[in-house]
Amino acid sequence: MPQVIAQGQTIECSPKTNLRSCLLRNGIELYNGGAKVINCRGIGTCGTCAVYIEGEVNQPNWKDKARRSLPPHSPTRELRLACQTQVLGDLKVTKYDGFWGQGSQVVWTPKG
Ligand code: FES
């Protein structure tokens, strides 16, 4: 089973599990500030579930690429939308600041 390491937790999940669901089910603070309440619930339109991922995941789908091509995201930044990401192997996840998780300051790392 793949292991997802995020915010100091190591979570086991089945291959192809949706990363957003995996993180939220285990109490990881995927959203920053008001985005905890105001988000698209995983349909890939709000862009607030953006995270930095190290490890094996699916190729970005069109929703992920489209939303991250729009400000305040940048298509050149190596973030992914957790709601559009499948866990394929062991992962380490980092969350950055800003409403959309688009900032440059780390909010939490894989270690906590
Ligand atoms: S939850 Fe809105 S884009 Fe992922």
Q: What is the DSSP string of the chain?
A: --EEEETTEEEE--TT-BHHHHHHHTT---S-GGGGTSS-TTSSSS-TTEEEEEEEEPPP-HHHHHHHTSTTS-TTS--EEGGG-BEEEEEEEEEESSTTS-SSSEEE-S--
- The confidence score (pLDDT) of residue 34 equals 98
pLDDT interval class at 2 (50, 70, 90): very high
pLDDT interval class at 11 (50, 70, 90): very high
pTM over 0.85, yes/no: yes
Q: Tell me: the pLDDT tens digits for 22-62?
A: 999 999 999 999 999 999 999 999 999 999 999 999 999 99
CATH match for 3-108 among 3.30.70.1380, 3.50.30.30, 3.40.50.620, 3.10.20.30 = 3.10.20.30
Q: Cα of 20 to ligand 1 centre, how many Å?
A: 8
- The domain limits of the chain are 3-108
Q: Which of 40, 73, 95 best tests ligand 1's pocket when mutated (most atoms within 8 Å of CB)?
A: 40
